[in-house]
A and B are shown apart, each in its own frame.
Chain A
Amino acid sequence: MLMAIALLLVVLAFFGAPLFTIILAGALLGFYRNEVDLSVIAIELYRIASTPILLALPLFTFAGYLLAEGNTSKRLVKLTSAFIGWMPSGLAIVAFFTCAFFTAFTGASGVTIVALGALLYPALKQAGYQEKYSLGLVTTSGSLGLLLPPSLPLILFAIIAQQMGYGEQVGIKDLFVAGLLPAFLMLALLTGWSLWYNRNDPIPTESFSFTNIKTSVWAARWEIPLPIFVLGGIYGGFFAVSEAAAVTALYVLVMKVFLYKEIPLKSLPKIMRESMVMVGGILLILGVSLAFTNFLVDAEVPSKLFALIQNNIQSKIGFLLTLNIVLLVLGAILDIFAALVIMVPLILPVAMQYGIHPIHLGIIFLANMQIGYFTPPVGMNLFIASYRFNKSISELYQATIPFMLVLLVALLLITYIPELSLMFVSH
């Protein structure tokens, strides 16, 4: 009976019922079966109001929505090209770095492709890069930067882990540092590959000039302090993560509305509303999945799952390899927030039994999700890019595959060298 209902829920999810209703129904059924008073569901939802770090979510999201409006993307590209545009394959490297930075702040919701890709794709082609290469570059770069602070999925992973009682090991600050080296590894490998790929094409390089640097720095003078706020503020001990989020939101608001005067005051309510609808969607799913997780733990599902997996896979490496494959597929079909709230509660306890550090798991998880965004046949960024650049999906498959292979190498390195993620983590 229970299996039949569970199956029915999965079918309903595949048919497009909102995910929160599916998880909610699962939790309600679970509690009902265990003869727990169903009003416990409201108690679980009220936990949203007892989790201080959640404050960071609406604030960073709002800041990201603001950054996506106006000309921040243009100034960012100008600034980076002034510094590294003179190198061989300069513009490609510029593209990687600006996309990564932009995604860290705006979340990998397709905004990067729409805002930056639209700018970079014609520029790359004009500079003489092959069409296929340029297309692959902007599509894959749409999710690059997911591992860099203050990306929302990083924060969400930490929140879920903390709610499951792994708070000691998974501090947000630690997770933020843990993502740095893996993200730079990805950037480095992509850069190296681009240098090699374009080695025979005489791509005209921009010449280095101090005037260029001066004008672009001056143009981006209000944006440059942003990473300093976020990282410097947090690691300098001036603010907690949620406070850094508040300062960032206020700063970006003042910068966009009053300093750059790019967003008229009257369009602010619309941006606020849109960003908060997104936050509502994420937090509601998080709230109901916390309830569902409690039921899962009560029903000892993670330990049963571990026993089942251990019967088939004994080694840590074998487990990680299987995990990568499962997560890549999931990353392609599931929304990243949905994947986080559904999979982390199941996988985290199992991974811990295999002796994997929860922070390392978080980085592996998100690295997979990042690649999942453009994994054929259904990765979301493939569709966004196809729509935005008016190219067929099959053209995009071909264009992204080399980039995907490079990032898979990075993923393997991140998976099998835990030190990449854990080197700077305090405990």
Chain B
Amino acid sequence: MRKFIHVLHILEDTALVGILVSIIMLAVTQIALRNFQDSGIIWGDSLLRIMVLWIALIGAMVASRTDGHISIDLVSRYLPEKWQHRVQLLAYLFSALVCGITCYYSVVFVYYEFLDGNTAFAAVPAWVCQTIIPFAFAVMSLRFVISAIRHLQDRSPPPVDNPVC
């Protein structure tokens, strides 16, 4: 299990870096081709947009590793410690549930798209590009469950190495 999580972390980090570099390179290539040769990769812009979706969702997955999502959190820090603990647990479980439901319905969506057989760009079917949606929500849901379990065991919260806000 521990090894699986470690591999997932490496995969996520590599994907973020790889996709970002690809986005920069492809976008600049498109500009160069258009301005200097009056041409361009036909499916380049579609691919760019799909990479934005992927980088967003993978970034969001990584954010849920470390409690890094944007939240309002006005009240809990003023509660007594015991209640802070309970409220935090409730927040994790709620987040896990919402992500779980979204994951389920995203699978349904991807399945419909699979049946429809649309293409996203070049010869790549749309459903392949969309698989990141259920996958990301599955991972986030699991991470919230794991955070809740850790919380119950009263282990220290995940380190905040990426404060998003």
Whether B52 lies near A55 (C-beta < 8 A) is yes
Q: How far is the CA of A287 from the CA of B164 in the complex (A)?
A: 17
Beyond A58-B55, A277-B164, is A21–B98 a contact (Cβ under 8 Å)? yes
User: A54's closest neighbor in chain B, by CB?
Assistant: B52
* A residues near B73, Cβ cutoff 8 Å: 14-16
A134 to B49, CA, bound (A): 44
Interchain CA distance A253-B28 in the complex, whole Å: 13
Q: Is the interface of B mostly helix, strand, loop or mixed?
A: helix
B27 touches A285 (CB 8 A): no
Interface size class of A (residues with CB under 8 A): 35 or more
Q: For residue A57, which residues in chain B have a CB less than 8 angstroms away from its CB?
A: 52
**B41 sits at the interface (CB 8 A):** no
The stretch from A45-53, A68-76, A166-174 touching chain B is A45-53
- For the complex formed, measure the closest distance between the CB of B116 and the CB atoms of chain A, giving whole angstroms: 12
Are A42's CB and B130's CB within 8 A?
yes
When the two chains form their complex, are residues B59 and A277 in contact, meaning their CB atoms are under 8 A apart? yes
Nearest-CB residue, chain A, relative to B86 = A15
A106 CB to nearest B CB, Å: 14
Q: How far is the CA of A41 from the CA of B24 in the complex (A)?
A: 29
Asked if A55 contacts B23 (CB within 8 A), the reply is yes
Shortest Cβ distance from B112 into A: residue: A39
Interface residue from B31, B45, B68, B133 paired with A52 (Cβ < 8 Å): B45
Known: A58-B55, A272-B17. A39 touches B109 (CB 8 A): yes
List the interface of chain A (C-beta within 8 A of B): 12-21, 24-25, 28, 37-39, 41-43, 45-46, 48-52, 54-55, 57-59, 62, 109, 238-239, 242-243, 245-247, 249-250, 253, 268-269, 272-274, 276-285, 287, 333-335, 337-338, 378, 380
Contacts from B to A (Cβ < 8 Å): 13, 16-17, 20-21, 23-24, 27-28, 30-31, 35, 45, 48-50, 52-53, 55-64, 68-76, 87-88, 90-91, 94-95, 98-99, 101-102, 105-106, 108-110, 112, 129-130, 133-134, 162, 164-165
